[in-house]
Amino acid sequence: MRIDGRGDSNLRKVKITRNYIKHAEGSVLIEMGDTKVICTASVDEKVPAFKKNTGEGWVTAEYSMLPRATGVRNQRDINRLKLNGRTQEIQRLIGRSLRSVVNFNLLGERSITLDCDVIQADGGTRTASITGAFVALVDACKRLVEDGIIEKIPITDMVAAVSVGIIGDEEMLDLCYEEDSNAVVDMNVIMTSSGEFIEVQATGEQSPFRREQLNKLLDLAQGGIKDLIQLQKEALGQVSNEIGRVTKDEKICCSDEEQG
């Protein structure tokens, strides 16, 4: 038995609440055990300089943690006048994880920014951010469709993420903070609903690990992500049926006059 009574292959209790913030085009409160993250998706009718006049959109992310999301107050990044390295690493991870399943041509020349704000941290904040931000991204794209701005949701597959690790000599899924801080091996895995990997981050924190241990961790992660994607589908309801109806390289259809 683990600290919270779970089995080694069990997720913490997960709750996804949509439309959590009034003004954002998409918003979610995701709770994974005692970790809680607010994820909002904001649409902006402009793109970074390198995307201008390409007809393609962009998806990016920002991540932050409230000072008392943890047991001891953390200083805000604004007071340091720069982002710390951990924050930069995490927001880049969130951004590229979500971009991997977006057709930028169908999104059109506009940007969607995902803000992931940790209000309570107990391990797995980056993986919870990715899992929650994906739902917020879908809702933002659905809003664009409903407003007649784009034709269909430009998302090719669903995405979720989870942590796994080795504590003592046991492989475990979805680590809480105490488990994570004592892990011999720590790993974060991001996957699609079709079983493809987006990113695997694995580190021998205290000692090297064997190939068979890596395989077992990946199997644990894949099972957890399958469960998380099912929870995303339940949260999204019928909207989830509109995901995956496009391919990564699909183009906007032209009118007969444009084709001629």
The CATH number covering residue 60 comes to 3.30.230.70
User: Distance (Å, rounded) from C-alpha 23 to C-alpha 74?
Assistant: 28
pLDDT for 81 = 62
The reported pLDDT for the residue numbered 1 is: 75
Residue 178 reports pLDDT greater than 50:
yes
| Mean predicted lDDT score pLDDT of the chain | 94
Distance CA 161, CA 178 (A): 19
Inter-CA distances, 138 with 46, 93, 107, 157, 187, Å? 19, 18, 12, 11, 26
Cα-Cα-Cα-Cα torsion 117, 92, 174, 76, nearest 10 degrees, comes to -40
- Does the pLDDT of residue 77 top 90, yes or no? no
Strand pairing class (14-18; 35-44)? unpaired
Six-digit token string for 90: 């995490």
What's this model's pTM, rounded to 2 decimal places?
Answer: 0.94
- Closest residue by Cα to residue 72 from 121, 125, 31, 124: 121
CB 137 within 8 A of CB 58: no
What is the longest distance spanned by two Cα atoms in the chain?
Answer: 68
Q: Is the pLDDT of residue 135 over 50?
A: yes
Tell me which residue range forms the domain holding 152.
14-71+86-239
Number of domains in the chain: 1
Give CA–CA dist 175/192, Å, rounded.
20
- Per-residue confidence at 257, pLDDT binned at 50, 70, 90? very low
255 in a structural domain: no
Asked if residue 248 belongs to a domain, the reply is no
Copy the structure tokens of residue 81: 């006048």
Q: Is residue 258 domain-resident? A: no
- The Cα–Cα gap between 186 and 184 comes to 7
5 in a domain, yes or no? no
Asked if pLDDT for residue 58 goes beyond 90, the answer is yes
> Quick one: which of 20, 21, 3 has its CA closest to 12?
3
Per-residue b or e along 170-198, where b marks 16 or more CB atoms closer than 10 Å to that residue's CB? ebbbbbbbebbeebbbbbbbbbbbeeeeb
Domain membership flag for residue 259? no
pLDDT tens sequence across 200-213: 999 998 899 999 99
Q: Is residue 24 part of a domain?
A: yes
Q: 256 pLDDT exceeds 50?
A: no
Distance in angstroms (rounded) separating the CA atoms of residues 11 and 210: 24
pLDDT bin (cut points 50, 70, 90) of residue 86 is confident
| Residue 126 within any structural domain of the chain | yes
Closest CA to 2 of 173, 150, 143: 173
What would the mean pLDDT of 164-192 be, rounded to a whole number? 96
The predicted structure's pLDDT at residue 74: 86
Q: Is residue 109 part of a domain?
A: yes
Mean pLDDT of 11-35: 98
**pLDDT above 70: residue 26:** yes
Angstrom distance (rounded) from CA 105 to CA 148: 16
Q: Report the amino acid identity of residue 55.
A: G
pLDDT score of 259: 40
Burial class (CB in 10 A: 0-12, 13-18, 19+), 201: middle
211-236 helix and 125-146 helix, angle to the nearest 10 degrees: 40
